[in-house]
Structure 1
Amino acid sequence: MKIIVDGDACPRSVLKICMEMGKKYNIPVWTVASFNHHIESDHHVVVGNSAQEADLKVVNLTGSKDIVVTQDWGLAAIILGKGALAVSPAGRVYLSQTIDFLLEEREIKSKVRRAGGRTKGPRKRTAADDKRFADKLEQIITANL
């Protein structure tokens, strides 16, 4: 088991929590990000800044039973298909039963934006978000060790 972090859009606090959990449970933490990001990690993979380059590297690094931290619903769908687990930085566990709904929602919002409309962005991150993520990540780790 390893924790793989899609570092291109990951909040620093979430990255810190992943590192702490990795040390606590002796699980390697891999980070993947474009060269535009400066991330300190024992296992950091730098990729170019082309669209989806980090996502493809995350997919290639992922094996079954790994835990991937990502905000990208499309990447989460691929990860679930590989038999791995996926969780968002907000602490939302992606499930095979609900990923289709999320992808459909993403497509609808994309159509609205292409037509000139606006969609609501994420709210400001809070300490409660960090606690929820830490609790969920620890639950996932302990349930799958």
Structure 2
Amino acid sequence: MIWVDADACPVKEEAERVATRLRLRIAYVSNGGLRPSRNPLVEMVYVAQGPDEADKYIAERAGRGDVVITNDIPLAAKCVAAGARVLRPDGEALTEANIGNVLAMRDLMADLRSADPFRQGGGRPFTKADRGHFMQALERAAQAAMREANG
């Protein structure tokens, strides 16, 4: 199963393409506002309005043999701990080996932003190359998760 934290995910189409090619089920989890897909492999999951409701839904269900796509670092940490493979939309894999550092950097940046109200910016723009890198990373992660689930 591929779980997508879908509210602000820029690679929903790419994820669906890979899932379709590999014949994997994919769930878009959001607070609503997403157009339903006609693809029979796609499940649209609408959770209650509120902070982190989609994250909670995914964290309660994702595990070994699943792939989670999210930019939410605390959600990623929970999914990694549960045995799921986790990708960011730019294709970066979040694993047991790097999630601690990623969480620490997230917390540091939040502290810096709160200490300096004039600090602006949210990183570099999302590019076409990021989309291509994501598709390759998802293909590898999904195939590894399928082997894991079957073996």
Q: Specify if TM > 0.5.
A: yes
Question: Does the aligned pair in 2 maintain the 1:4–1:31 contact within 8 Å?
Answer: yes
Q: Which ranges of structure 2 fall in alignment gaps of 5 or more residues?
A: 147-151
Q: Which ranges of structure 1 fall in alignment gaps of 5 or more residues?
A: none
Deviations 1:69-127 (A, max 9, x none): 00011111000111111000000000111111111111111111222342541322221
Aligned counterpart, 2:24: 27
* Larger CA deviation: 60-69 vs 86-95: 60-69
Q: Which runs of 4+ in 1 moved over 6 A?
A: none
Aligned alpha-carbon RMSD (Å): 1.4
Query: Which amino acid in structure 2 is aligned with residue 17 of structure 1?
Result: E
What is the total number of aligned residue pairs between the two structures? 141
Q: Quote the sequence identity (%).
A: 30
Aligned counterpart, 2:138: 137
Aligned counterpart, 2:44: 44
Instruction: Give the TM-score normalised by structure 1.
Output: 0.90
Counterparts of 2:129 and 2:25 in 1: how far apart (Å)? 25
Aligned counterpart, 1:60: 60
Counterparts of 1:27 and 1:82 in 2: how far apart (Å)? 20
Deviations 1:41-67 (A, max 9, x none): 431111123111110011122131100
* Matching of residue 4 in structure 1 with residue 3 in structure 2: yes
